[in-house]
Amino acid sequence: MNALVGAWVFVAVIYHGELMPKPNPNLNITFEFNADQTNRLYYDRTGDVGFCERKATYSYADNVLTQKNTWINPENQPSCDTDPDMKLNSESVTKAVVNEQQMYLDLPLGDETLTYIWQKK
């Protein structure tokens, strides 16, 4: 069974080796992985109007998550255009370590890496 399958909620980050809470407590991000090798990324901010949503195909092997965006929600708020992960046909390769209840995704932050921690729903 694919360890990614299911819904994941963003809960914390690791920066410079330190566990920290989400940078913005109002930021709600959900990542849903399906057994058919598709996924959905959705985020919004509590108290704000609008959201960002996209769908992609993915593969996961040897702690590497590879994705290619296949659909961008036409109702996305305009600021979604600044997010590289909200562009049609965008591809990404990310280190992803998964255990039963948590997922760790390494995302670039300039010349550094920020590790997003996700909790399985």
Q: Which CATH number fits domain 6-120: 2.30.110.10, 2.40.128.280, 1.10.10.10, 2.40.10.230?
A: 2.40.128.280
Query: Burial code of 65-75, b = ≥16 C-beta within 10 A, e = fewer?
Result: bebebeebeee
Cβ-in-10-Å burial (0-12, 13-18, 19+) of 4 comes to buried
What is the average pLDDT across 113-121?
Answer: 96
According to DSSP, the residues that pair with 9 across neighbouring strands are 30, 119
CA-CA distance, 100 to 57, in Å (whole number)?
22
Summarize pLDDT for 44-97 with one digit per residue, the tens.
999 999 999 999 999 999 999 999 999 999 999 999 999 989 999 999 999 999
Domain ranges of the chain: 6-120
CA-CA distance, 104 to 120, in Å (whole number)?
11
Q: Is the pLDDT of residue 100 over 90?
A: no
| pTM confidence score | 0.94
